[in-house]
Amino acid sequence: MKKFILFLSLLFLVGCGAKVIKIGAVLPQSGQWALYGNAVREGIELAAEYIKENKILNEQIQIMWYDTNSKPTTAVEMMEKAIDDGCVAIIGGITTSEAIKMIDLAQKKKIILMSPTASAAELSAKSTYFFRIFPSDKYEVTRAATFMVEILGTKNLSILYQDNEFSDFISRNLEMEAKNLGVENSYRIKIMSDGFNIPEAVSQAISVRPNTIYIATYSDIFPRILMEIKSKNYAGKIVTTSAFNSPGLFSLVQSYAEELYFFKPPFEPNDKNNAVCQNFVKKYKDIYGKDPDIFPAYGFDSLLVLVEGIKLGGTFTDELYKGLRSISGIQGATGMISFTVQGEVLRYPRIYFIKGGQPIDFMEYQEAQRKEIIKKIEKEREELKNLQNK
């Protein structure tokens, strides 16, 4: 009898130890947006390893992978499958186009959807089950419009936008914000999703003599647009979105991107005060032999935050929702993370520009220039003082 009880006890312990929490990663791992999806996957894989090594959760985490083939309808189908497979939460909605469709299913099925990188401001109001760790476009739009008007002195603005949800949302909001700040003339010009009409669209954008051209597209057609603008000897300013941080894009346009302004969400790979970030960067370099960009970093944090929510709440949707909402600040690879009541993070992108073929933080550059001018003035004053004393 004692042996039987001991056997049952051991069986119970084995059963407890074998508990697995499934999380679905519904990503574009093939097709048009595979570059984004596979970069995010790299970060999720590193986060899973980090969580296991640091014993952040007692239970075992299993990541279930699903390929959307870069199609929003397939993203919904794969999310359905992930739910049927027993996943307690979903990481997905890499692009705005996929996120829009997936959010509807999250609301219907009452399951948490965590987006690493979807940014359209309109997404937040669509479901209480939707969270994201990437800054909303509304913060980028506000900063972009203010920068173009107050720093670049933009009065006439041409906006080139791609035929997709992300580009449409951000370009409309940018135009509205710019007009509110004093832009006198603005023109939104649509480019077909495959970029077929780029030459005509660029010619139209330049023909109205803008101070600034704002490009709101994904990375697939961006190089062709920028090259076309440069070929027209356009002398004004060129500004683009945080999509410029797409993996590999900078190396493609580096030779003709001088003086291009763009926005970068928070991620400081050299932040020595962020141990999580340093761990992530080191592991990433060890495996892939290169520096990580923002996409694996935000992929890493998407899983880290979900697991923290599970730890604080539980695996049932209501528990996980409360757990995520109770996060007052968790240190991730991209910095401190906490959520607003709309499931957003309060983060503002920084302004960068290409100078001497390299991306430079614009505000830091301005501050360095200011200090250099002060230093020069002080030197001239000292020299003048010495002359007067002779």
Nearest to 134 by CA among 299, 7, 253: 299
Instruction: Tell me which DSSP letter residue 349 carries.
Output: P
Strand ranges across the sheet with 20-27: 60-67, 20-27, 89-92, 112-115, 130-132
- Is 18 a residue whose pLDDT tops 70? no
The pLDDT score that the predictor gives to residue 12 is 38
Q: 197-220: string of b/e by CB count within 10 Å (b at 16+)?
A: ebeebbeebbeeebbbbbbbbbbb
Q: Which residue has the higher pLDDT, 16 or 135?
A: 135
The per-residue pLDDT for range 190-247, each reduced to its tens digit, is 999 999 999 999 999 999 999 999 999 999 999 999 999 999 999 999 999 999 998 8
pLDDT at 207: 96
| pLDDT at 7 > cutoff 50 | no
Counting residues of the chain whose pLDDT is more than 90, the rounded percentage is 76
Check pLDDT > 90 for residue 109.
yes
Between the CA of residue 174 and those of 139, 159, 255, what are the distances in Å?
Answer: 11, 9, 28
pLDDT confidence of residue 145: 96
State how beta strands 330-332 and 335-337 pair.
antiparallel
Res 8: pLDDT: 37
Q: 385 pLDDT exceeds 50?
A: yes
pLDDT band at 390 (very low <50, low <70, confident <90, very high): low
Residues 51-83 have pLDDT tens digits of 999 999 989 999 999 999 999 999 999 999 999
What confidence tier does 376 reach under pLDDT thresholds 50, 70, 90?
confident
Asked whether the predicted pLDDT for residue 346 surpasses 60, the reply is: yes
Angstrom distance (rounded) from CA 49 to CA 37: 19
Q: Is the pLDDT of residue 282 over 90?
A: yes
User: Domains of the chain (ranges plus CATH)?
Assistant: 18-135+270-337 (3.40.50.2300), 138-264 (3.40.50.2300)
- Residue 172: how many CB atoms within 10 A of its CB? 16
* Helices and strands: H and E segment counts in the chain: 13, 14
CB of 137 closer than 8 Å to CB of 170: yes
pLDDT at 384 over 80: no
Instruction: Output the pTM of the full model.
Output: 0.85
Answer with the residue of higher pLDDT: 128 or 372: 128
Lowest-confidence pick of 4-13, 121-130, 323-332, 369-378: 4-13
CA angle 101, 106, 109 (to 5 degrees): 125
Interior angle at CA 360, CA 198 and CA 366, nearest 5: 115
